[in-house]
Amino acid sequence: MAMLEIRNLHARVEDTEILRGINLTVNAGEVHSIMGPNGSGKSTLAQVLAGKDTYEVTEGEVLYNGKDLLDMEPNERACEGVFLAFQYPVEIPGVSTNYFLKAAVNAKRKHHGQEELDAVDFLELVKEKAALVELDSKLLSRSVNEGFSGGEKKRNEIFQMCVLDPTLAILDETDSGLDIDALKTVAHGVNCMRSPERAMVVVTHYQRLLDYIVPDFVHVLREGRIVKSGGKELALELEAKGYAWVEEGNATPVATS
């Protein structure tokens, strides 16, 4: 059974159809990269999978480990192991990152019938993961993302991913806004998370990221559909030829794997 099975997914905002029949299968252990021009629907796909209710799903289905994902509340999806690293992480004034993350960790543990982590164990976990992505631990006592630099916000997303240990991680343009050193550390964090039990969907505009996080599959999204899929070399081809190349009759609308 595939971990994630997206079939003919259509979604819209008010009268605008944004996703127009997405098909995608992701198996445990795989890393998929999604590329595509601005406004093609990459973030929308990510948000629909995470359960953002701004988007109305009008057709299609999504199975996650065999369960109807669209039927689950966003927090339920998260507790079941779906993680989204946001393209634009929000600020939550007055709520410390530590406090926030502890609530998140314990919500998940509660969902699985485990005991809550106590302060000592939590701190240990957090310390280890912060070191992994080289996140300045001073940020942890500050309000969630408040006044963080663009790069710090992105790093914080990956840090949270490491702490929450998801089954399916969706990274939406985590690389944009990172300097080259930060990119390497973040990629290192992500690579540490690669495992046969986990799958990742990495949205990016840049082939550069894929030098560090080498994908098993690359998909091109355009106007709400996957118009081309291939291996990691597809990213290089895109970089060389641009998205216009996909339009010139090279489309292969069905996803592989």
Partner 1 sequence: MADASKTLEQWENQEYKYGFVTDIQADSAPPGLNEDTVRFISAKKKEPPFMLEWRLRAFRHWKTMTEPTWANINYPPINYQDIIYYSSPIKDEDRPKSLDDVDPKLLETYEKLGIPLHERAALAGVAVDAVFDSVSVATTYKDKLGEMGIIFCPFSEAVHEHPELIQKYLGSIVPYTDNFFATLNSAVFSDGSFVYIPKGVRCPMELSTYFRINAQSTGQFERTLIIADEGAHVSYLEGCTAPMRDENQLHAAVVELVAHKDATIKYSTIQNWYPGDENGVGGIYNFVTKRGKCHENARISWTQVETGSSITWKYPSVILQGDNSVGEFYSVALTNRCQQADTGTKMIHIGKNTKSTIISKGISAGRGQNTYRGGVRINKGAANARNYTQCDSMLIGEDCGAHTFPYIEVKNSTAHMEHEASTSKIGEDQLFYCNQRGINLEDAVSMIVNGFCKEVFRELPMEFAVEAQKLLEVSLEGSVG
Ligand X SMILES: Nc1ncnc2c1ncn2[C@@H]1O[C@H](COP(=O)(O)OP(=O)(O)OP(=O)(O)O)[C@@H](O)[C@H]1O
Residues that bind partner 1 (CB under 8 A): 50-52, 54, 73-75, 77-79, 83-84, 86, 89-95, 99-101, 103-104, 107-108, 111, 143, 160, 164
What would the x/- binding string for ligand X be over residues 41 to 60, using CB under 6 A? xxxx---------x------
Question: Distance between CA 62 and CA 60 in Å, rounded?
Answer: 7
Beta strands in the chain (DSSP E): 4-13, 16-26, 31-35, 56-64, 67-68, 82-85, 92-96, 143-144, 168-172, 199-203, 217-222, 225-230
Question: Distance between CA 215 and CA 89 in Å, rounded?
Answer: 24
Helix (H, G, I), strand (E, B) or coil at 203: strand
Give the burial class of 70: count Cβ atoms within 10 A of its Cβ; 0-12 exposed, 13-18 middle, 19 or more buried. Answer: middle
Among 4, 6, 40, 238, binds ligand X (CB under 6 A): 40
Place of tokens 């809550």: 116
Size of the site for ligand X (CB under 6 A): 13
Judged by beta carbon, residue 100 or residue 206, the one nearer Mg ion is 206
Judged by beta carbon, residue 29 or residue 37, the one nearer ligand X is 37
What would the x/- binding string for ligand X be over residues 67 to 106, using CB under 6 A? --------------------x-------------------
What residues form DSSP beta bridges with 219? Answer: 34, 229
Q: Does 174 bind ligand X (CB under 6 A)?
A: no
Judged by beta carbon, residue 19 or residue 139, the one nearer ligand X is 19
The residues binding ligand X (CB under 6 A) are 13, 16, 18, 36, 38-44, 54, 87
